[in-house]
Amino acid sequence: MMKKITPAFAVLILSFVLLWVCAEATPAAKPAGEPVQSGTQGGSAGQAGKQDPFEIFGRVVRQLESAARPMTEKEEYYVGRAVAAQILERYRVVQDSRIMEYVNLVGNAMALASDVPYTYGGYHFAVLDTSEVNAFSCPGGIVFVTRGMLSRAGNEEELAAILAHEIAHVNNRDGIQAIQQSRWVEVVSMLGGEAVKGKEGINKLTLLFEGSVNDVVRTLIVNGYSQDQERAADASALNFLNRAGYDPIGLADYLERLSREQGAGNRGGFFSTHPGMSERLGLVRSAIASNGWKRIDHRIRDRRFGQYMK
Amino acid sequence: MQERVRRMNLKLRHLLIVAGFLLLAPAALAAELRIVTEEGLVRKDRRFFAPVVTRVPYGELIRDDSRRGDWFRVRYQGIQGWIHKSQVTERKYRATLTGPAPEATRDEVALAGKGFTPDVERSYRGQNPRPGYEAVARVEAYRVSDEALQSFIRSGKLQVRGGEP
């Protein structure tokens, strides 16, 4: 009997010992200047000297788990708000209640058809008062489209296509991916230890937060997402449009217009952060063809587009 | 030789048992979901525009009775209804290793409460005057109601995710 359970037991013991060794090797993440023993958390744990191996085991497991922890929806929301704040320091929002209503209706209809219909703070859409052609999707669901971009949409299908593409970036958490890995590793390594307590902890987290927000803003405004992220967002947008009953060909029509402008030498803003429009257009067209999607009648929506946009 | 193979098989079986135990133990606790949006909307039916029967605050645990497609049938404070999968997380943490599930999930909240929190945002805004936040608050305050959105979808001959009107 003893012989039978030995291998299983050995695995458990081995993992226990390994984790114990890790615990001993992990530098105690305590803020400088704080006494070694905080005393308030964990009850009996951590009297200098002998420690309960089960306490250590529990702590190591907690540390390993926190290190693997992704950013929560709520944290993403706070990063997104700060990103949106920076964008709204550069651009004013168009104060037209009809336009505001229209982009929010089309945007929310698209969001319901997306892969993540609900986010922590919900989806919110606004138009930025600039003739530049651009759109920004902040982590968590605040989406901005410029007046220049909106003015190039020929109908509601195309507006829905623009918003679907931006919602896809939110779904895919592309904004969050722009944050340097090392920053998040530092955040979670703080959480596993005790260093997060007190003013010093907050100050350190604030710096990491600021760095993270700036990483996202830089990607949105200066560098743009990767070509792969753009292609993935196009592919998702086609599905969202189709699910919602919009004509997915609207995305191809819109990209074709932008591609023509890019070909005609329009540079800067969107055209610099979104190179290779014609390649994207080609991929979108072939996806439409392989799904067998044909043009659908959308005159009923064309009419209301005309009413809202006049 | 035959004895060696038999011993190897035995070892393999034990390893599989241990792996299975470690894998299956958390699944046994899959009866609770945590709200990950500011407010969880529990609806009468599993449809986006079904009436909301109760609203559940962020971080609360709700009982998961069953799942159909993208919707969970849940119970919160005695009220039963359906919640969309994007409003909850099924993430399970270590329950088998460091104690019973409720304790473990409280730890999860504590961990989540230690990252980029409202306190961190307050500190960030204190250190960097950010006038943009006021404009963001106005954008966030603009909300379309369920009724307005449903009527917009219907009048445009659209649908919600293929089928649902």
Enumerate the residues of chain A whose CB falls inside 8 A of the CB of residue B37: 73, 118-122
Cβ <8 Å between B140 and A246? no
Instruction: Tell me the C-alpha distance between A73 and B59, whole Å.
Output: 11
Tell me, what's the pLDDT at A260? 87
Tell me, what's the pLDDT at A116? 97
Enumerate the residues of chain A whose CB falls inside 8 A of the CB of residue B128: 210
Residue B117 contacts by C-beta under 8 Å, 6 or more apart in sequence? A75, A78, A205
Using CA atoms, how far residue A215 sits from A84, A274, B53, B116, in Å, is 13, 18, 41, 15
Residue B56's DSSP bridge partners are B40
What is the distance in angstroms between the Cα of A40 and the nearest Cα belonging to chain B? Answer: 14
Give the mutation candidate from A93, A170, A199, A206 for the B interface (greatest B CB count, under 10 A).
Answer: A206
Cβ <8 Å between A78 and B117? yes
Name the CA radius of gyration of chain B, rounded. Answer: 23
Pairing, β A124-128 against β A142-146:
parallel
Nearest CA in chain A to B133: A85
Cβ <8 Å between B120 and A142? no
| pLDDT tens for each residue of A296-306 | 999 999 999 99
A76 or A24, higher pLDDT: A76
Lookup: tokens for A52: 């309960």
Measured from the Cβ of residue A78, the count of other Cβ atoms closer than 10 Å reads: 25
Our CA angle for A286, A114, B38, nearest 5°, is 155
Q: With CA atoms as reference, report the closest residue to A134 among A217, A220, A218, A213.
A: A220
What is the distance in angstroms between the Cα of B100 and the nearest Cα belonging to chain A? Answer: 13
Q: Is the pLDDT of residue A288 over 50?
A: yes
Mark which residues 231-260 of A lie under 8 Å from B by CB. Answer: 242-246
Q: With CA atoms as reference, report the closest residue to A146 among A61, A271, A238.
A: A271
Enumerate the residues of chain B whose CB falls inside 8 A of the CB of residue A196: 114
Residue B88's DSSP bridge partners are B35
Count CA atoms within 13 Å of residue B81 on its CB side. Answer: 21
| pLDDT tens for each residue of A142-173 | 999 999 999 999 999 999 999 999 999 999 99
Residue A134 contacts by C-beta under 8 Å, 6 or more apart in sequence? A128, A145, A146, A148, A149, A269, A270, A273
Q: Which among B14, B94, B112 has CB closest to A7? A: B14
Cβ burial, residue A44 (10 Å; 0-12/13-18/19+)? exposed
Instruction: Spell out where chain A has E strands.
Output: 124-128, 135-137, 142-146
Average pLDDT of the residues of chain B? 80
Cβ burial, residue A302 (10 Å; 0-12/13-18/19+)? middle
- Whole-complex ipTM: 0.78
Nearest CA in chain A to B19: A8
Find the range with the poorest average confidence among A126-130, A204-208, A258-262, B139-143.
A258-262
Cβ <8 Å between B115 and A87? no
* DSSP, res A221: I
Share of chain B above pLDDT 70, in %: 70
Starting at the edge strand that comes first in sequence, how are the strands of the sheet with B61-68 ordered?
B52-57, B39-43, B79-84, B71-76, B61-68, B32-35, B88-89
A130 CA to centre of own chain = 24
Enumerate the residues of chain B whose CB falls inside 8 A of the CB of residue A105: 144, 148-149, 152
Q: Is the pLDDT of residue B10 over 80?
A: no
Enumerate the residues of chain B whose CB falls inside 8 A of the CB of residue A119: 37, 86
Tell me, what's the pLDDT at A276? 81
Cβ <8 Å between B15 and A8? yes
Instruction: Tell me the C-alpha distance between A284 and A278, whole Å.
Output: 10
Q: With CA atoms as reference, report the closest residue to A258 among A174, A167, A139, A161.
A: A161
Q: Are B73 and B127 in contact (CB under 8 A)?
A: no
Give the 3-state DSSP-derived string for B31-76, with helices as H, strands as E and coil as C: CEEEECCCEEEEECCCCCCCCEEEEEECCCEEEEEEEECCEEEEEE
Tell me, what's the pLDDT at B73? 96
Enumerate the residues of chain A whose CB falls inside 8 A of the CB of residue B10: 4, 7
Using CA atoms, how far residue B54 sits from A34, A167, A255, B31, B41, in Å, is 45, 27, 43, 19, 6
Q: Which among A66, A85, A120 has CB closest to B38? A: A120
Q: Are A141 and A119 in contact (CB under 8 A)?
A: yes
Q: Which among B15, B144, B159 has CB closest to A244? A: B159
Our CA angle for A257, A261, A262, nearest 5°, is 115
Taking the domains of chain A in order of start, what are their residue ranges? 73-177+220-309
Using CA atoms, how far residue A260 sits from A208, A254, A280, in Å, is 41, 10, 13
Q: Are B45 and B70 in contact (CB under 8 A)?
A: no
User: Confidence band (pLDDT; 50, 70, 90) for B105?
Assistant: very low
Q: What is the average per-residue pLDDT within B30-38?
A: 87
Consecutive H or E run containing B26: helix B2-27
Q: Is the pLDDT of residue A200 over 80?
A: yes
Give the mutation candidate from B43, B144, B154, B157 for the A interface (greatest A CB count, under 10 A).
Answer: B144
Output the CA torsion A138→A139→A142→A146 (10° steps): 20
Tell me, what's the pLDDT at A43? 33
Q: Is the pLDDT of residue B85 over 60?
A: yes
What is the distance in angstroms between the Cα of A261 and the nearest Cα belonging to chain B? Answer: 30
